[in-house]
Amino acid sequence: MALNYTFAEVVSRPTCPVQGNSDLYGLGNRLGIYIQMLTVQLSSFLSSTRPVEDRIGQATIVFILATATVLLRLISSRQIEAVEVVPILGLISAQIGVCRVPVTGSKITLLIYVGEMVGILALFTWFWWKGMDDLPRSCKHDYAFFFAKVSIWGWFRRLNQALGIISVVGACLTYFLSLINFVSLVIRNVVDEDLMEQLGSSTGKVEMTVNIGIIVFVEVSLRWNHITDVHSLSSPGQFMPFFIALAQLVSTLYRFFDPGEGELEEEDDSVLECSHGHGRGGSSGTTDDVENIPMDNVENIPMDNVESAALSNASADTQATQGPKRNVGPFPVRHQLFGPIADDRP
């Protein structure tokens, strides 16, 4: 795509025919990112109310890595204009904001997330300070939405330059404060759950407001700059990210409204419960039954009854093992090999 236009050609054009890259920020990709932002918010709320893992929030780092890699390749080859980079940075910032990576999770995932944060922050600062001048430009005025139609080459650029410096300083301070807070919590082993819940709810409201503002910023900026080929779902490549994000949203909604997920875990715990130590009305005996035998009545039992009961039990056991005795007549048995021998007594 040829982007080397002279300034005279740019000024002579009544409109700016900026042909957008649909594979990078087409309508399907943008809708997929917007749906994913909503899905991550819902998944984060679900993980805070139920014992489930926020996998959607962690999977966002893969999409951020893919988008940032393609953007860097286009910038290095000068195949993208500065007016196109502005909304893409907004989309990446929105994805970074909703990404959820727990500190106690996978170390590789955490390292990738931190690396992406540092890389995106460096790209944002470099773009507004120097990158805009190095990239091609096909329009005299490039606009962005900031509560009004403003040029990205005027005070809006200086504002983002200042925001870049503030973001770098804020990121460093946040890192050190988070490290100190984490170490103190580990040493004291104390976490205020009410305070964490209040911070989580307030952060969620702020993130939702910021995400809505980013969506308006991206869509209005694309319209005002007359960027073409990025407003249709007719391309087959736009359906895949859209339906993948839609499937993630449906899956998260199913987990959110499924009432049997918590009951299944309770049922598993009840199945594993031992009936010998806690059973009261079952057929099997318990240790409580043995302990509750009154020992005072043992001394009052007559010994004759004990001996007769023991002989009866022994006789019953012998009869059960040897079978019933055979009737051999009125004579006692002397030797079973030659048959009964009669007694010679008169």
What DSSP assignment string belongs to 303-323? HHHHHHHHHHHHHHHHHHHH-
The answer for 144, left when phi > 0, alpha when psi is -120 to 50, beta otherwise, is beta
CB 107 within 8 A of CB 153: no
Contact 254, 263 (CB under 8 A): no
pLDDT, tens digit (0-9, with 9 covering 90-100), for 285-322: 444 444 454 555 545 555 555 455 555 555 555 554 55
- Write down the pLDDT at residue 250: 86
Pick from 63, 42, 61, 49: nearest CA to 101: 61
Which residue, chain included where needed, has tokens 């946040």?
174
Q: What is the pLDDT of residue 103?
A: 63
Please give the average pLDDT of every successive group of 10 residues along the chain, which has 346 residues. Answer: 47 61 88 86 68 62 86 91 92 80 71 86 93 87 89 92 90 79 60 49 67 90 89 82 85 72 47 46 46 51 52 54 49 46 50
For the chain, give every domain's residue range.
Answer: 21-258
Answer yes or no: are the C-beta atoms of 63 and 37 closer than 8 Å: no
pTM: 0.63
Distance between start and end Cα atoms, the chain? 136
Structure tokens at 55: 């996998």
Encode pLDDT of 183-219 as tens digits. 666 556 554 545 444 544 445 667 778 888 889 999 9
Cα–Cα distance between 66 and 33 in angstroms, integer?
13
